[in-house]
Amino acid sequence: MGELRALDYEHEGVLLKGELALPAGPGPHPAVLVMHDAHGLGDHVRRRALALADLGYAALATDMYGGGKLFTGQTEVGPFFLDLQENPQRLRGRVLAAFEALRARPEVDQARMGAIGFCFGGQCVLELARSGAAARGVVSFHGLLHTSLPARAGEVKAKVLVLTGGRDPYAPADAVAGLQRELTEAGVDWQLTVYGEGWHAFTDPNPEKASVPGVRYDPLIDKLSWAQATAFLDATLRD
Amino acid sequence: MGELRALDYEHEGVLLKGELALPAGPGPHPAVLVMHDAHGLGDHVRRRALALADLGYAALATDMYGGGKLFTGQTEVGPFFLDLQENPQRLRGRVLAAFEALRARPEVDQARMGAIGFCFGGQCVLELARSGAAARGVVSFHGLLHTSLPARAGEVKAKVLVLTGGRDPYAPADAVAGLQRELTEAGVDWQLTVYGEGWHAFTDPNPEKASVPGVRYDPLIDKLSWAQATAFLDATLRD
């Protein structure tokens, strides 16, 4: 594995401290945002960014809260998370700030960009797609599916892959059906996998999260969802 | 690529002419049925069986009609197809005859068996799972989802992966929802992907089929569904 290097960027006066993983070899490389869950930038997304760099992508582990830190307690992170949920334009703007920060790097092929995200990060990548940003593909892992700024017909450029658990209380069946309707009506090229036995956060082995209601790591679904996501990125960013 | 060899078997007095692809190297190998669409055993499933052998599986392209032939006209194949649709126990028995024929081969690891199928063959592999056969995993590609012998609680041993197109008129949204209900109520470990832009037979490049209503080959979905299916077989048959 390679290593991560600091990539600071800014949005509305907040200093955001991302971490960038680069592939070996000369660029420009296809490039992917890697967007963290509600707890902030931690080892889960760092590992994914490094894994993507091994596969040939410039991968930016983003920072949605400022300071680039992981919050271990829900009390501490709550205000940061809620501020973005209550200000959907700010949330979307902050995602786009990360996208622009990655796009501005000389190592990046600006025509071959995408994003993946986990839980809250899954919501963020859907917002990136809904915004009409020039991403080719986005992947939501056990993401939040709701939005107050739904996709508009003909405006979404990215192909969208949604990977969700049939038992995830944060993405219930009616939210899944609602997202399918939203994306279909907007003419989005989407794909959606329901892992029937999957709970929330099925990719995250962090034992501290196992106490959160509805959360369960699943090694098989983790492996299969990663295989699916990397095949999708390969097909959409490299074709 | 390797080559296919004849594997004859029998069911209710009908001689079925399957074709077996074997990996290089000593067995026993994990083993997979490869089940054809309504037109019979043709190059589409032959290619898939050979590709699976390259990945290390003993793969049997099955024959559901007898004689091991491909029917190019719907008029010719109609009676064979309808006979099995109208006799669901016969259909299921014939799938199990193929499963037993493969399982009896000395090259096969009997504890590591699965099945994939396309269109009608997707229905056949779901019937294999519903029967309670000792398969570890089955994959339905753009399959027919209905059954008159639904899965019974606790009896299904196989994990089930369903890959279906959002525009497939042979697998409409209510059939997809019905299958999810059936499998959930029976306690099956299932996964289901809807490719929003997918039509029927999205894996089959045969130009002769393009005139059939609702059928459309899709190179991207073909590639992604194969990546997903092979990752699933690897995880369920080799873990």
Model confidence over B11-47: pLDDT tens digits?
999 999 999 999 999 889 999 999 999 999 999 999 9
- What was the pLDDT predicted at B70? 83
Domain-located, residue A71 = yes
Domain-located, residue A5 = no
Tokens of B53: 């052998």
A158 close to A114: Cβ distance less than 8 angstroms? yes
Q: Please report which confidence band the pLDDT of residue A74 belongs to, taking 50, 70 and 90 as the band edges.
A: confident
> Cβ contact (<8 Å) for B231 and A228?
yes
What residues of B are in contact with residue A223 (Cβ under 8 Å)? 231, 235
Beta strands of chain B (E only): which ranges?
4-11, 14-21, 29-35, 58-61, 108-118, 137-141, 159-165, 190-195
The terminus-to-terminus CA distance of chain B in angstroms comes to 25
How far is CA A114 from each of CA A33, A48, A123, rounded to the nearest angstrom? 6, 14, 14
Query: Rounded mean pLDDT of B89-101?
Result: 98
Query: Rounded mean pLDDT of B125-139?
Result: 98
> Cβ contact (<8 Å) for A192 and B188?
no
B16 close to B91: Cβ distance less than 8 angstroms? no
Interface contacts A/B by beta carbons within 8 Å: 69
Query: Rounded mean pLDDT of B42-62?
Result: 97
In this predicted structure, the answer to whether residue B74 has a pLDDT above a threshold of 80 is: no
How far is CA B161 from each of CA A184, B85, B129, B133, B139, rounded to the nearest angstrom? 23, 22, 11, 16, 5
Ranking A192-206, B25-39, B41-55, B65-79 by mean pLDDT, the lowest is B65-79
Q: Which of A193, A227, A239 sits opposite B192 (nearest CB)?
A: A193
Tell me how far the alpha carbon of residue A106 is from its chain's centroid: 22
Measured on CA atoms in the order A165, A180, A231, A52, is the torsion positive or negative? negative
Tell me the ipTM for this assembly: 0.93
| Beta-bridge partner residues of B17 | B8
In this predicted structure, the answer to whether residue B73 has a pLDDT above a threshold of 80 is: no
Q: Please report which confidence band the pLDDT of residue A1 belongs to, taking 50, 70 and 90 as the band edges.
A: low
Domain-located, residue B48 = yes
Alpha-carbon distance A38 to A143, whole Å?
10
Note whether B151 contacts A: Cβ–Cβ < 8 A.
Answer: no
- What was the pLDDT predicted at A68? 84
Which domain covers residue B24, as residue numbers?
16-237
Pick A196 or A73 by higher pLDDT. Answer: A196
Q: Which of A180, A191, A224 sits opposite B231 (nearest CB)?
A: A224
- What was the pLDDT predicted at A132? 98
In this predicted structure, the answer to whether residue B1 has a pLDDT above a threshold of 60 is: no
- Helical packing angle, B120-130 and B88-103, nearest 10°: 80
Domain CATH number, residue A84: 3.40.50.1820
Alpha-carbon distance A195 to A166, whole Å?
6
* Domain count of the fold of chain A: 1
Note whether B87 contacts A: Cβ–Cβ < 8 A.
Answer: no
Domain-located, residue A7 = no
Domain-located, residue B9 = no
Contacts of A70 (CB under 8 A, 6+ apart): A39, A40, A41, A42, A43
Domain-located, residue A1 = no
Q: Please report which confidence band the pLDDT of residue A223 belongs to, taking 50, 70 and 90 as the band edges.
A: very high
Percent of chain B with pLDDT over 90: 90
Domain-located, residue B213 = yes
> Cβ contact (<8 Å) for B228 and A223?
no
Length of chain B: 239
Q: Please report which confidence band the pLDDT of residue B164 belongs to, taking 50, 70 and 90 as the band edges.
A: very high
**Best residue in B55, B138, B216, B224 to probe A by mutation, most A CBs within 10 Å?**
B224
CA dihedral B5, B10, B16, B17 (to 10 degrees): 10
Query: CA nearest B117: which of B147, B143, B99, B92?
Result: B143
Comparing alpha-carbon positions, the chain A residue that sits nearest to B184 is: A196
In this prediction the pTM is: 0.95
Mind listing the pLDDT tens digit for each residue in B103-130? 999 999 999 999 999 999 999 999 999 9
In this predicted structure, the answer to whether residue A72 has a pLDDT above a threshold of 80 is: no
Note whether A74 contacts B: Cβ–Cβ < 8 A.
Answer: no
Alpha-carbon distance A237 to A63, whole Å?
23
Domain-located, residue B5 = no
- What was the pLDDT predicted at B7? 97
Contacts of A81 (CB under 8 A, 6+ apart): A38, A65, A120
Note whether B195 contacts A: Cβ–Cβ < 8 A.
Answer: yes
The terminus-to-terminus CA distance of chain A in angstroms comes to 25
- Helical packing angle, B219-237 and A219-237, nearest 10°: 160
